[in-house]
Structure 1
Amino acid sequence: MDSGAGTVREERQQKTYAQQHGVPQTEDLQRQYDLPEHAGREGTPMTYDDVIRKTVTSFAVLLVGAGAAVTLATMMPGIVMGLALVALLGGLVLGLVNAFRREPNPGLILAYSATQGFFLGALTWVLEMAYPGVAVQAVTATLVVFGTVLALFKSGKVRATPKLTKFFFTALIAYAVFSLVNLGMVMFTDIGMFGMRAGWLGVAIGAFAILLATYSLVLDFTNIQEGVEAGVEQKYGWAAAFGLTVSLVWLYIEILRVIVILRSITE
């Protein structure tokens, strides 16, 4: 259940929006593009509407992948989890490739969405069979968190700060190491499906991870705002869409895990 989304976030968010995607800082735009205006010679500047369109496209592909996994699971349940593991590994590789590219590649970003969608669809189907209703609960909670963070960011009540961001990266590294160790124990021992995250300790760790994923959304919104204000090229809207997809996938997995752990305790 540790999809690697947190690891991707770690690599992608180490720099500012401009630095991580090879986009010049505001004061370097004119020199970099050798133009008097914000937009590069290849197109118009990135806008919020453009980011929304690209993000919706990314999530549409993710939903198609999830739907394909659920459909396959109902017909051939014996092979879907094996394919889900392949999709998980493929998504991790694609996520790292996209994170390290200087310029976004829409095809690779959508491929990431498709593989992660298949993995999430298969995972959700398995857990839904064991805990009916968990899918609706997790999706609803994810949408509520996303909408709340977006509203607070737009109102100016929530902002990324240097101190919080430093803490975020430190905690993220520690969480990524813990998650990898826990995943290894789940895969290669009989510790159980949650590993060291079973019981109320798992709920506490999951709540902390949800906070990390939530702050990751704040960083995404900050990056998008920086990109729009700097007038970067429209193609970098795909990088913004990729970032939001990674954060929401991570957030959904953490919420889903906490709900399942809570239900395993109380039922």
Structure 2
Amino acid sequence: MPGQQQGGFGQPGYPQGGFGQPQGGFAGGMQPGMPGFAPGQQGQAPYQQRGAASYMTMDDVVVKTSISIVTVIAAAIATWVLVPLDMMIGVAIGGALIGFVLGMVNAFKRNPSGPLVLAYAIAEGVFLGGISGLFEMMYPGIVVQAMLGTMGVFVGMLIVYRTGAIRVTPKFQRWLAAALIGALVLMLFNLGYFLFTGEASLLRDGGPLAIGFSILMIGIAAFTLLADFDLAEQAIRRGAPKNFAWGIAFGLLASLVWLYIEILRLLSYFRE
């Protein structure tokens, strides 16, 4: 239609809003594709032409994200309480592998699926429950500290986003994408080094370099939260369907899981 701007969610006909052209979000490094929407009339948001009940709201995001987090916590507690200590590491590895596969499926699935996101949450809960149980056995009290640290970073980044102290610009998105790729490469290097040598690399041995690396990973994970917040706000403004709230929930959950693991690891270095 003449006079309309190209929309950012895969379909033409979305007027350019105050955000300018929309930026993609990074949910722990990945985010499901945005499904296409029916075009709205020029100068009007899509929800002004169709029933508002079919479009995502901030309440949808909060509810879906809360359900996902509660599912993770419930699965983690069940694993911690029910799984014998000698089986915990194996169960944690199994949960991590299943969570990785489900994470890939959720990340590249065009239409977010609530059951798949909750299945991912259960797998990650099993992984976190096993890892947390082992860390708590070695360093009493560390799990509570890591949880408080994760909550603190989440609230802090939400404040940073709402106040506009750091804006999610195209340059920020490019920087974050490069940082996530670099983090993934280094994590794969650490894993490969451990598998071949049976020892932790310098980036994970608890020394000064390992402490700096963990702080860097915590910083990148925290910045992914800003991208998730921005994606949620832009999706609401541009009339995303209600089920896309599950995609936002998945992104936030992936960021929080990564953040918790890195904080837990960093605290263990200081305990040593």
TM-score by length of 1: 0.84
The one-letter amino acid of 1:197's match is: R
Q: Quote how far apart the aligned CAs of 1:162 are.
A: 2.0
Matched, 1:48 2:58: yes
One of 27, 31, 34 as aligned partner of 1:21: 34
Paired residue for 2:111? 103
Alignment of 1:138-149 (within 5 A): 138-149=146-157
| 1:186 and 1:195 in contact (8 A); partners too | no
Matched, 1:63 2:66: no
| Higher RCO (C-alpha 8 Å, min separation 6) | 1
The one-letter amino acid of 1:246's match is: A
Matched, 1:129 2:148: no
Change in Cα spacing, 1:155 to 1:23, as seen in structure 2 (3 Å) is farther
Secondary structure, counterpart of 1:9 in structure 2: coil
Query: What is the RMSD of the two structures over their aligned residues, measured on CA atoms?
Result: 2.3
Which structure has the larger Rg over C-alpha atoms? 2
Change in Cα spacing, 1:230 to 1:106, as seen in structure 2 (3 Å) is same
Aligned equivalents of 1:63 and 1:195: distance in 2? 32
Residues 80-105 of structure 1: CA distance to partner in whole angstroms, max 9, x if unpaired?
21121111000000000001111011
Change in Cα spacing, 1:140 to 1:103, as seen in structure 2 (3 Å) is same
Q: Quote how far apart the aligned CAs of 1:176 are.
A: 0.5
Gaps of 5+ in 2: 1-25
Gaps of 5+ in 1: 1-6
Aligned equivalents of 1:36 and 1:240: distance in 2? 20
Q: Quote how far apart the aligned CAs of 1:38 are.
A: 5.1
Aligned equivalents of 1:39 and 1:79: distance in 2? 56
Residues 126-181 of structure 1: CA distance to partner in whole angstroms, max 9, x if unpaired?
01111111101110010001001112212222221222221221121111111011
Secondary structure, counterpart of 1:103 in structure 2: coil
Q: Which has the higher helix share?
A: 1
Aligned equivalents of 1:116 and 1:197: distance in 2? 21
% of aligned pairs identical?
35
One of 228, 231, 248 as aligned partner of 1:240: 248
Matched, 1:252 2:260: yes
| 2:98 and 2:123 in contact (8 A); partners too | yes
TM-score by length of 2: 0.83
Matched, 1:120 2:133: no
Matched, 1:155 2:140: no
